[in-house]
Amino acid sequence: MARRQCYHCKEWIDDREPHDCWTTTEGALTRDLTDDLRDAWERLRDTASEFGEQRIYASHKSIMFSRKSCYFFVRPKKSFLEVCVFLARALKHPRVRRVDSSSKTKFVHFIPVRHRDEVEAPLTEWLLEAYERAGDTTAKPPPPRSAPGPARATRAARKKPPRKR
């Protein structure tokens, strides 16, 4: 039987066999996790599920949690779970590895989780805050910054004119 190699996932497939490597599931993304990471994942998922109605789905290499918009997602890695939370403010906390602006109204926070015990406050509070904001349809961008102050004078303009004698 003839075989071909998928140019996306590099897997060898029989010609007559259906193949869709773009279809991802939670199970496929969490299958190879260590016991500690699997426990952390289950606690994270259970905690988020208790917030209320939402959609939980796998997309590419992430597991997304969304209401009207995605409020956080998890990227399972070999040694940790990368939790990415969307908040209206930038956090400064030792647990937050990195913060990036993701839109005019949101900041994405990258938080590594390595153990079940790390899925507790303040992480759970941030997830709840993000969940509540994801259902808010009245979110507005922050007001524009005021106009910058007067421009600094160039070096030539700062020089005093020569004194007349």
Percent of the chain past pLDDT 90, that is, above it, reads 56
Q: What is the pLDDT of residues 39-89, one digit of tens each?
A: 999 999 999 999 999 999 888 889 999 998 899 999 999 999 999 999 999
pTM of the model: 0.70
Q: Ramachandran region of residue 80, left (φ > 0), alpha (ψ -120 to 50) or beta?
A: beta
| 21 closest CA partner among 3, 7, 38 | 7
Confidence at 90, pLDDT banded by 50, 70, 90: very high
- Name the residue with higher pLDDT: 86 or 9: 86
Domain 22-137 has CATH 3.30.420: no
Q: Is 149 exposed, middle or buried (0-12, 13-18, 19+ CB in 10 A)?
A: exposed
CA 157 to each of CA 126, 152, 160: distance values in angstroms, whole numbers, following the listed order:
50, 10, 8
Query: Domain boundaries in the chain?
Result: 22-137
Residue 107 has a pLDDT of 96
The crossing angle, in degrees rounded to 10, of helices 35-49 and 123-134 is: 40
